[in-house]
Every structure is written in structure tokens, then in C-alpha cells.
Structure 1
Amino acid sequence: MQVGLNRTQWEVANKTSLPDFDRLQGANSLPLIKKEVDFPESPFISSQPLRYNVQLNRQLTALQRAEGYLHTTERQVAQLQRALQQERAETEIKPLALKTLHWLQQRTAMSGNAVDRQLNFVPEQRTEVNFALHGAEQLLQPAESETLLFSLTGHGYNVVAVNLPAYASPAQNLLRLNNGLGRLGIHGRLDPQGNAQFHVDEKRWAEIEAHLQVRGGGLRFAKERFQPLKLQPEVVLEDRVRDIAAKPQEAKKHLAGIQQAMGQITGQMSKLSEHKRNTGVQINSMSSFSAPNSALVAAEALAEKLLQGRSQYAMWANMLTAQGNARSAMVRNLLGG
């Protein structure tokens, strides 16, 4: 025997009629109601994903810290430049150089790692050290096949093997080196003059400079034991100022380098201004409400939609309550138990 609810009993008990109530009879579950949602989707709280907003916030922070650091650097270097141009006494030049050197040594902390050693703005906050490898020309020149072992004995012990094929071109040998040394974070390239230039993350530079060693097969490097590699970092403003502080009597020879650094800072400040304009455009594109009263209009539209859905919600709530109050025997019969 099957027991079911009929339309008349439901309508008498609840004084309302349910659309398509016949579908509820039997063991079928409640049908899904597919209705086009006309909830006002615009304006959004943000027109961009949350991940994008976080990245933009980081970019803004990097811009602000880089701008502040470069502005102070420009002021201090300008003071040192004037002292050199006016050929002031060593007793005046040395304190200025020491003050500037102390500021340059705080670059990573004060700029939030958004300015590299060459005083370039780095929005990704991943600064690198450019360096030359002593004997790189001989290393890359065509020769017989040789396997080189590079070791790094800093916090751990890492060894990578690089096989240089017989009589390969410098570009091919450099590609092999990049494949191997890349595991240690070192990458190289050939400049227009054919000279090899390498770079590594600044955080790893101290370890690389102190502990990178190589052993060869007797052609380019000796095979008896590992020998240290001599690395020469690119000369930057900090190096020049350090030399001025150590030898103020020879400071005038660095005047051209100081002027070049001032031009570099000025160029980066211009780039920062361009970055700020682009960031401003991005922020405006993420604006939630373009017009002054658009937020109020959106709130009123939302309230109207919620009021329209109140009666339909009450109807379905009553229906589900009645179904929940059905006797267990009735439910078992409906389910065929």
C-alpha cells in the first residue's frame, strides 16, 4: 500500500497553492529550480580578483619604499658631488663619504629590496649581482671535450658536473654552463663584445663568492683538486664611495663615476613616476563606484530584490516544514521501504 499527500489537504492546511506539487509525490527529491538571477552584479566591490589586489598592494609598497630610498640617496650623493667639484679639504670629504656609504649599505633594508646594487628600481624585489668570472674567456674557448665539476661548500655541499663538448663555440659552452650552474642559481650571457657576464641572486652572492670551486680534467682546470674561482662583481656606487672614504686624497678620480650615478638615479626617479601613473590607472580601474550616488542606488536595488523574494521563500519554507513533519511510516512507504 502506498501513502501520499494530495493537493487538497495541503491547500486546506496552508491556505495556499503550490506550483507543480505533483512532482513531490513518490520517492523523487525536490526538483532544482533554475531561474535567471537578476541580482545587480554591477557595481562590484572590486572588478579584479583578490590575488591581483594583493599584487597591486605589494607594487605600491615597493614604489613608495624605492622612491623614498632613491630620493635620500640622490640628496646625499649630490652633497658629496659638490664637495668633490669644489675640491674641498679631505676632512670635509671623508665624513660625507662615510655618511653616504652607511646609507648605501642599508639599501636592502631601507628600500625593501626594491632597489638593486646598480640603483635600479626592481618591482619584483629580486635583486641580483652582476659579476665577471676570472678566466671565462679561456673557459668558453673551443677545446677538446672536458668535464668540469663545480662545488659550493657553504651551508651545504653541492656539486654539479658540466660537460663541454669538443670544439664547441663559446655560445654553446655557455649554454652548457648555464644548464649546470643554473642549479646553483648562477646564469651567464654574452655581451655584444662577446664577453661573458654572470649574475646571481643578491641573497646568495656572499656564499657564491666565498665558496664556489671548480675541478677540471687537466685542460681548462687542474684535475688533482678543487680550486677557488675568482669572481669580480660589477663596480657600483657603493664601491666608489667606499674608496673615497678610505682614500679621500684620491677622491677626484671618482668624480666621473659619481656623476654617472647621479644620472642613473635621475633616470630611475623618472621611471618611478611613470610606474606611479600606471599604478594610478590600475587603481582607478578597480574603483567600486564611479558616481557619488551609485552605492545608494545599488543598495536600493538589492533591497528591492530581497523583498520580492520574501514571499517565495516563505512558501518553500512552509512546504519543507510540512514534509519534515510527515510520519516516519509515510516516509518509508514513499521510499518503498
Structure 2
Amino acid sequence: MQLSVVDSGRQVTPRGAVEGVSLTRTELPAPVGKVEPVAPATLRGGLKSYDSRLNRQVSGAQQAIQFLSEADARLRALRKELTGGDAAAALEKFDKFWQQRSAASAGTLDGNLKFSADAKATQEFAVRGLSFETLRSGDTETLSFAVGKWSRQASSITVDPTQSESAIVAALDRALTPMGVRATRDAKGELAFNVSEKDWPQVRDSLAIRGGGRRFPTGQFNHVRTVVAEQAIQPSQWNAADPRKALQDIAQAHQLIRRSYGDVRGVLEEAAQSVDHGAATAAQGAYWQGFAEEYADTLARGDSTAIAATVQTVAGISKRTVSSLLAAAPGTT
């Protein structure tokens, strides 16, 4: 498959952004310890980028914990409403809360509550008419893709039915990556795509394909239908008219939320250990740096007493001992 650039001339605008959520209540175990963001001065030189990455990781994990705690509390309240209140209204209220997941967790939790420390939760989806079966049957055809703000500079591939599924995925991925969309396989091995959750509304509303008249119409870009991958928690599918089934769905959601909470808690524990290790390493490095500088100043002054003491100290040290010390891992000598 070959890539080329074509001009579609089609403009698309995304839907509105999600609103924020007020998180107030928690009854899950409290987040691990007290993990403070690492101050820029804690680590030196080449560790500054690591320091910044750790700060983002901790901040994202804390927001995820906050959302999961609130979700847990709301699910318990929802369970009570199903047995003695306005079940339909309660389900609708929780569904609205759940729709704010991405914004409330700062993009760190995807639809299945998998945690992404770099705030790059993605939305997986399929495209109607694009499957291994349709692409590997029929004649050769050139397909051009356009998404939203990239619609003026679309990417194209030539569909070759003789190519393997892996080659098809690779070609589609190369064509769509500049638009923020990645081609992949889903859990069942079928052709799928994913995009950052923050870009999903735009892709959903503007993804268009122009074909050669075989699989897709020729001559102009046509908006294609996307199908969101099934998610583990789908409150919109819970049925107030069937309380027993709804309670089962809530129980399953509870298990997933608590499992995700444990995973994120583990991330915070690792971050706390990294902070402790980084502080100890920095302190040790500062000590030896200061020692070396002080000793160098002493020798530079020509202090005969210090020089004589040094000669006596190192005179009995063999080359093998020095080599072993230099080769030893930090903290083992």
C-alpha cells in the first residue's frame, strides 16, 4: 500500500466539550500515605525530566483515585435507590456522572477503567465497511481518509487484497497516525482503531473516506459510521424495570472500580518509593560532590600534611581493588 496526499476541501467541527464534575465523597480506603509532588530542586541535572514525569504521574493518579472513590460511593447509593426509591431517576443521574469520567479523571482512566499515567486514555472503535474481510476481497482500490481539521490534507492508501492482515494494519496506521488515529486489532483480532478520548468527539463526527467506487463511493468524501468498542461499565444499558439484573450490573461495576482503585493505589506506592529513593540518591551524590570539591581545594593549596596523609593511605591499595570499586554497582560497597 502506498501513501499520498490529496485535498478534500471538507471542513468538520467537533461537538461541545464535556463539563467538569464535583467530587466530594469517598469510602474506599484512603490513598496511600501522603505523596507530595517532587520539588524541582530535589533531583539534579539529567533527573529533571524524570522529576517532571513523576509529578504528572502522581497528579494523574490522585485525580483517578478521587473519581473512583466518588463512583464507589454513588454506586452504593444507587443500590439503595433501586430497592426503595426512584430507580429510573437514580440510574439516569449515575449515567450522567459516568459520562464525565474522562474529564473528572484528567484523562487517566479509559472506558474500562484502565489507568494511563500520561493522561492518554484512548477510545477504541470500528468503522463500518472497513474490516479485514472487506479489504481482502474484491479489486484494488485507493482509499483517502480525512478527519476534522486535517480534512484539507488527507492521507491515502491503495487497498491490495493480496496483502496480509498485518500489512493492512501497518498501512492504515501510517496513513491515519498524522490525524491522531491509530489502526490496531481488537481483543478478538479484528481490525480496529483508537484515538485519544479528548479527540474522540471530533473523529466520531468527522471521519470521512473517499473510495474508488468499489468499497466506498468515488468522487467525494463521505462521513462514515463509527462503532464504539463495548465497555465493561455501561450505565446507560442498566434497566430500572429489571432491578435484579440492574443490581448484578452494579455489583460487576463495583468489582471493576475496586480493582482499578487497587491498580492506581499501586502506582502511588511506586511513586512514593521513587521519591524516597531519589531523595536518598541526591543526598548521597551531594555528599560525595562536596567531599571531592573540598579535597581538590586542599590539594590545590599544596597542603603538605594532607598530601602526605593521602600518599600513606593509597600506597597499599592495589590496582585490582581500585578496578573492583569502580565496577561495583552503587550502594554495594
- 1-structure distance, mates of 2:57, 2:102: 16
Instruction: Report the Cα offset of residue 159 of structure 1.
Output: 1.7
Match for residue 72 of structure 1?
A: 70
Aligned residue in 1 for 2:27: none
Q: Work out the CA distance in 2 between the residues paired with 1:61 and 1:192.
A: 30
Shift of 1:205: 0.9
Q: Which runs of 5+ in 2 are unaligned?
A: 1-40, 303-333
SS in structure 2 opposite 1:116? coil
Aligned equivalents of 2:123, 2:259: Cα separation in 1: 20
Matched, 1:241 2:239: no
Q: Greater helix share, 1 or 2? A: 1
Compared with structure 1, are the counterparts of its residues 82 and 130 closer, same or farther at alpha carbon in structure 2 (3 Å cutoff)?
farther
% identical equivalent positions: 21
What does residue 106 of structure 1 align with? 100
Counterpart of 1:149?
144
Maintained 8 Å contact 1:69/1:111: yes
Say if 1:149 and 1:161, in contact at 8 Å, map to a contact too: yes
Q: How many correspondences in the alignment?
A: 259
State how far apart, in whole Å, the 2-side matches of 1:127 and 1:212 are. 20
TM-superposition CA deviations, 1:303-335 (whole Å, max 9, x none):
9879969989xxxxxxxxxxxxxxxxxxxxxxx
Q: Distance in 1 between matches of 2:232 and 2:78?
A: 12
Question: Which ranges in structure 1 are unaligned for 5 or more consecutive residues?
Answer: 1-43, 313-337
- The answer as to 2:167 corresponding to 1:172 is yes
Does the CA-based 8 Å contact 1:215-1:221 persist in structure 2?
yes
Q: 1:124 to 1:290 in 2, by over 3 A?
A: closer
User: Partner of 2:259 in structure 1?
Assistant: 267
Partner secondary structure for residue 49 of structure 1: helix
Structure 1 position 120, deviation (Å): 1.9
SS for the counterpart of 1:121 is coil
Following TM superposition, by how much is the alpha carbon of 1:230 offset from its aligned partner in structure 2, in angstroms? 0.8
Counterpart contact for 2:136–2:161, Cα < 8 Å: no
TM-score, normalising length: structure 2: 0.65
**The residue matched to 2:250 in structure 1 has which SS?**
helix
Task: Return the alpha-carbon distance in structure 2 between the equivalents of residues 184 and 128 of structure 1.
Answer: 14
User: For residues 256 and 285 of structure 1, do their structure 2 counterparts lie closer, same or farther at Cα, with a shift above 3 Å needed?
Assistant: same
Moved more, 201-210 or 250-259: 250-259
User: Is 1:280 matched up with 2:250?
Assistant: no
User: Does the CA contact (< 8 Å) of 1:128 and 1:202 recur in 2?
Assistant: yes
Say if 1:301 and 1:171 are closer, same or farther in 2 by CA, change over 3 A: closer
Q: Find the residue that maps to 1:160 and give its secondary structure.
A: strand
The answer to whether the 8 Å contact 1:140/1:170 transfers is no
Counterparts of 1:46 and 1:264, CA distance in 2: 37
Inter-partner Cα distance in structure 2 for 1:150 and 1:289: 51
Deviation for aligned residue 1:155 = 7.3
**Pairing partner for 1:140 from 123, 135, 142:** 135
Aligned mates of 1:221, 1:45 — CA distance in 2:
57
Which structure's CA Rg is the greater one? 1
SS in 1 for 2:279: coil
- 1:323 maps to none
